[in-house]
């Protein structure tokens, strides 16, 4: 995995301290591939009634470049009673299967898909107490939690207990916020939740302060001028959403064919402007079929898409001394990552293959769409590191799944990804003395 002429590496000699440095440039790649917590997702059935198949899920990732599945877990039988032990066990089994397959879930709980009969705020609160340990213990494979719980499909519309759309009184809003606050309290702080419309977040939490753990999902994207009620006042909510989604997750699904709004020009403009990270590939297929001119670009750009631009590295370092690196990373996607992500410089001994991981302080959540970020840091070489030559790699592992290479971020460059280790080859070596 050393340098190859086809990678068109440009080496420039620079003098930094006492060590000669080399600058490497990295060709980009247009390849489509899976990366965690972004992209198209599959929604194939009710998560409470169906059973995920591990082999099928794995095929999503390896053959379709899909890393997400939707899990809408209906609690129909428990509107006035505790969630049964068997239902909770099934939820755990579903999440275990997702973990074995190397994917993550977009998770939502709901009480009905056919009428307005949902659960009271008190019952929802009790259920969330039951769900709390499952959310906590499976945070590693939960990408994001949609607020759900209220109304048909958990989309906060037709609802028996929280006021119907257009007839929501002050108590209804207090009850809706109580459910949201309770959900925030039981979902691990490393994970965000999403509300169905900008109005819901703006009404309950205001617009003057940032609420970093509450994102958005639009489940009728492009369906009408207001996306079937997703927007109440686009002239106000569009600018709000464009700014808010710089920091919080955005996703959802298309709804109905509605040309020209549902076609590529508007679709790609709003996917980029509202920083979409994920989108349903199963619904609405007629809408997606109309995206043939842009579907490949959308597939690559949903969420983040990081590519190395250049890197400068010393040719040698001393045990116990510093190893300065400068690495440029461009985000060609629509959004930044929305969950925590580690960044590491990895040294691999060219003789023994032993790996040494050195933490970098960069936060990929700050690597904004359409911009280039710079990692400029001097790390300390362990004093007990064996002398010899080391290849340099960049690793962006999941903090909760660091031993699983399929959960590490792959960079969009030619010939740099090692799927077996989850490492991105920086095509540079350093001699440790």
Q: Is the pLDDT of residue 70 over 60?
A: yes
CB 414 within 8 A of CB 7: yes
- R_g (Cα) of the chain, nearest Å: 23
Q: Is the pLDDT of residue 241 over 50?
A: yes
Please give the Cα distance from 193 to 179 (Å, whole number): 12
> What was the pLDDT predicted at 19?
64
pLDDT higher for 3 or 271? 271
Q: Which of 428, 286, 401 is nearest to 37 (CA)?
A: 401
What b/e string do you get for 406-418 counting C-beta neighbours within 10 Å, with b at 16 or more? bbbbbbbbbebbb
Which structure tokens are listed for 353? 């293959």
In this predicted model, what pLDDT tens digit does every residue of 339-373 receive, in sequence order? Answer: 999 999 999 999 999 999 999 999 999 999 999 99
Q: Is the pLDDT of residue 12 over 70?
A: no
Please give the Cα distance from 356 to 73 (Å, whole number): 42
3-state secondary structure of 294: coil
Please give the Cα distance from 242 to 274 (Å, whole number): 5
Distance of CA 17 to the CA centre of its chain: 40
The 3-class secondary structure across 159-173, one letter per residue, is CCCCCCCCCCCHHHH
Q: Is the pLDDT of residue 219 over 80?
A: yes
Residues above pLDDT 90, as percent of the chain: 93
DSSP 8-state secondary structure symbol assigned to residue 365:
G
3-state secondary structure of 176: helix
Tokens 């298309």 found at: 254
Label residue 208 by pLDDT band (50, 70, 90).
confident
> What was the pLDDT predicted at 6?
36
CB 232 within 8 A of CB 223: no
Q: Is the pLDDT of residue 3 over 60?
A: no
The structure's pTM equals 0.94
CB 291 within 8 A of CB 396: no
In this predicted model, what pLDDT tens digit does every residue of 255-289 receive, in sequence order? Answer: 999 999 999 999 999 999 999 999 999 999 999 99
Q: Which residues contact 347 (CB under 8 A, 6 or more apart)?
A: 355, 356, 358, 385, 390, 391, 392, 393, 430, 432
In this predicted model, what pLDDT tens digit does every residue of 330-346 receive, in sequence order? Answer: 999 999 999 999 999 99
Mean pLDDT (whole number) for 240-263: 97
């Amino acid at each position: 995995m050393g340098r190859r002429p086809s990678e068109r590496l440009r080496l420039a000699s620079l003098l930094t301290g006492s060590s000669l440095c080399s600058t490497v440039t990295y060709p980009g790649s247009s390849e489509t591939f899976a990366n965690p917590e972004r992209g198209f997702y599959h929604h194939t059935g009710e998560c409470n009634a169906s059973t995920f198949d591990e082999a099928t899920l794995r095929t999503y990732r390896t053959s379709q470049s899909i890393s997400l599945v939707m899990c809408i877990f209906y609690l129909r039988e428990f509107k006035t009673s505790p969630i049964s032990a068997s239902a909770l066990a099934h939820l755990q089994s579903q999440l275990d299967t997702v973990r074995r397959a190397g994917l993550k879930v977009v998770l939502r709980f709901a009480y009905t898909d056919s009428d307005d009969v949902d659960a009271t705020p008190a019952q929802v609160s009790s259920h969330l107490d039951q769900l709390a340990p499952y959310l906590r213990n499976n945070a590693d494979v939960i990408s994001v939690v949609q607020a759900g719980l209220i109304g048909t499909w958990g989309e906060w519309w037709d609802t028996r207990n929280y006021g119907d759309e257009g007839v929501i009184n002050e108590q209804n809003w207090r009850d809706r916020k109580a459910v949201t606050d309770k959900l925030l309290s039981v979902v691990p702080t490393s994970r965000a939740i999403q509300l169905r419309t900008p109005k819901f977040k703006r009404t309950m939490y205001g617009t003057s302060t940032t609420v970093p753990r509450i994102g958005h999902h639009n489940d009728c994207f492009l369906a009408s001028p207001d996306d079937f009620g997703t927007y109440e006042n686009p002239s106000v909510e569009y600018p709000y959403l464009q700014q808010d989604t710089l920091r919080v997750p955005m996703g959802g699904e298309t709804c109905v064919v509605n040309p020209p709004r549902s076609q590529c020009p508007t679709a790609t403009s709003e996917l980029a402007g509202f920083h979409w990270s994920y989108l349903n590939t199963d619904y609405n297929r007629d809408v997606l079929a109309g995206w043939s001119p842009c579907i490949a670009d959308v597939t690559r750009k949903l969420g983040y898409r990081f590519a190395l631009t250049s890197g400068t590295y010393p040719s040698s370092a001393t045990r116990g001394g510093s190893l300065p690196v400068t690495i440029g990373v461009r985000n060609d996607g629509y959004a930044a990552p929305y969950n925590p992500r580690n960044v590491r410089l990895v040294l691999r001994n060219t003789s023994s293959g032993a790996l040494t991981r050195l933490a970098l302080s960069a936060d990929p959540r700050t690597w904004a769409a359409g911009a280039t970020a710079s990692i400029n840091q001097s790390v300390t070489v362990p004093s007990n590191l064996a002398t010899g030559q080391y290849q340099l790699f960049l690793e962006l592992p999941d903090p909760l799944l660091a031993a699983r290479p399929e959960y590490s971020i792959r960079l969009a460059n030619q010939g740099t990804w090692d799927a077996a280790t989850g490492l991105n080859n920086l095509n540079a070596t350093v001699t440790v003395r």
